[in-house]
Chains A and B, each alone.
Chain A
Amino acid sequence: MMKVALIGLGSVGKGVAGMLAKKDLGITITGIADSKSGCMDPNGLDIADLLLNKTKNGYCGDLKISASDVIAKADYDALIEVTPTNALTGEPALGYIKTALMRKKHVVTSNKGPIALAYKELHALAVKKGVNLRYEATVAGAIPIMHTLEHGLAGNEILALYGVLNGTCNYILTRMAAEGLTYEQALMEARELGYAEADPTYDVQGIDAAIKLVILANTIWGNGKRLADVDRTGIDLLTPDAMRLADDEGCTIRLIAEAIPRKQILRVSPRIIGKNHPLVVDGTLNALTLETDMAKEITLIGRGAGSTETASAIIGDLLFIKDRYVQRA
């Protein structure tokens, strides 16, 4: 049985907790915390009970116990860090992750901030402490891109990558192309469906996609790229006329994240793309094409967000750690 501490009980945290309670995966939650409270028990917590508390009171555990307490004191093998992303400082997640690594605990996170900002440092710390830091869920939701890179494509040289990494933008562009909607109309629709935030800046200006691109670039090439290195253009100035002009040529427009080290390209921008191109996926789907020396081109398509979908990526990371490192009976 592997013991885990879960920090963050938003949509992703609830998805992970729910699936761990439902499936018999040999993983027990021994610590849990949301933004207000925490709870620990080395013998395992009653997840259903805690989730019910959360729904009823808005917090899950004891108000006197903080996330930091759980991370520093609970008995666990791996920390699941799924608090909200802060793209500027990475905090408080960055501190949480460091604390756990210092305690020689494995870390699984869906949090883009710390990985995009401090991957090198965190990776080095994990190696030094002999533990694993995994972040499959940070990029492209349920698509197992990190596992594919690390295992399936092991030994390949990755020459380039192209991706549709932001579901909000892809939804808006899909609707503009299909229905001739203006950007504003499509954005409003996306908001109503819960695909866009009240302040959509982070998505529509390509910041989210750029952060994911930075994470991928650092993972693949270890080139120390940062958000500021990404040449970034958003989708908020696109017109229905532009969509139609592309359509006339059998093409459409999608927000593409692109990294080609040999050409020094690291870019997120709306691009004209043939409608039958494998990266042209509909709605909130994500897609990634890798160009490699041996396998040539490989395209992965899947859901980029969602509670259970993201839980899939996190649980994949947890089970990898369990199989590889944790020998508890």
Chain B
Amino acid sequence: MTGDLVQVSMKLEMKDSPGQLVAALKPISDVGGNIIVVIHQREPDLDGDTLNVQIVLELPEGQLEKLVALLKEQGVHIQRIGKERLLYKRTVIMIGHLIHTDLPDTIDQIDSTGFAEVCELAMSMPAVNERSSSRLTIKAVSKGDMEAALAILRRVSKQKSLLLIEPLEEIA
């Protein structure tokens, strides 16, 4: 991929009418961005015709201002923009016959959840038939989703006889 991508989180407020959300999100693809997650928030104290949405997206460096302008044109009110990571990120290490056990499938089991994805992969394969080691960085929307993603990895690792090394959870 060319050019650096920046990750941005936004809290948007818009009219809760049919088609409004899709219209509001269209500018993101117009600027070459990629939506990672959309979280609806129905806050009870808001009146019924306002929709609050939290989104996390990646977009090419320098495109944020253009996106903000386009969103305003759509009548979307931007409550907050943060470049800070809203996502949970965890790194795991897997050891074993990673290629022979279909690494793309292992990754896809996370990516296909919709709430988590493997965003980085580093691998080391010493020799054919020897066990390889890999480092996977996983992003998820929330702590709960990260737990769910790790649970999937645990299950897959067991099935494929891979050694999964999880990070020590930060002390709560």
Q: Which A residues lie at the B interface, using CB under 8 A?
A: 160, 162, 233, 237-239, 241-242, 244-246, 248-249, 251, 253, 256, 258, 269-273, 277, 279, 289, 291, 297
Indicate if the CB atoms of A245 and B168 lie closer than 8 Å. Answer: no
Within 8 A of A (CB), among B78-94: 91-93
By a CB distance below 8 angstroms, the chain A residues around B95 are 237-239, 242
Q: Is the interface of B mostly helix, strand, loop or mixed?
A: strand
Interface readout for B133-172 with A: 1 if CB under 8 Å, 0 if not?
1110000000000000000000000000001011110011
In the complex the two chains form, what is the Cα distance from A162 to B169 in whole Å?
Answer: 10
Write the nearest CB–CB distance from A69 to chain B, whole angstroms.
49
Q: How far is the CA of A239 from the CA of B132 in the complex (A)?
A: 8
Residue of A whose beta carbon sits closest to that of B166: A271
CA–CA, A201 and B33, complex, Å: 52
Q: Is A273 a contact of B167 with CB atoms below 8 Å?
A: yes
B77 at the interface (CB under 8 A from A): no
Tell me how many residues of B have a C-beta within 8 Å of chain A.
20
Within 8 A of A (CB), among B99-127: 122, 124, 126
The listed residue (A162, A233, A251, A269) touching B171 by CB distance below 8 A is A162
On whether the beta carbons of A291 and B171 are closer than 8 Å, the reply is yes
Which residues of B (43-70) have their CB < 8 Å from a CB of A?
A: none
Given A245-B124, A245-B133, A246-B135, A272 and B93 contact (CB-CB distance below 8 Å): yes
Are B168 and A162 in contact (CB-based, < 8 A)?
yes
Q: Is the CB of B171 within 8 A of A272?
A: no
B11 on the A face (CB < 8 A): no
Question: Given the known A-B contacts A239-B133, A253-B93, are A291 and B172 also in contact in the complex, defined by CB atoms under 8 Å?
Answer: yes
A245 touches B171 (CB 8 A): no
Question: When chains A and B are docked, how far (Å) is the Cα of A246 from the Cα of B95?
Answer: 12
Partner of A245, one of B96, B135, B167, B172: B135
Any chain A CB within 8 A of the CB of B15? Answer: no
With A238-B95, A248-B122 in contact, is A271–B168 under 8 Å at CB?
yes
Q: Could you tell me if A241 and B165 are in contact, using CB atoms closer than 8 angstroms? A: no
How many Å lie between the Cα of A227 and that of B91 in the bound state?
29
The answer, among B92, B124, B134, B163, for a CB contact under 8 Å with A272, is B92
| Contact indicator B124/A241 (Cβ below 8 Å) | yes
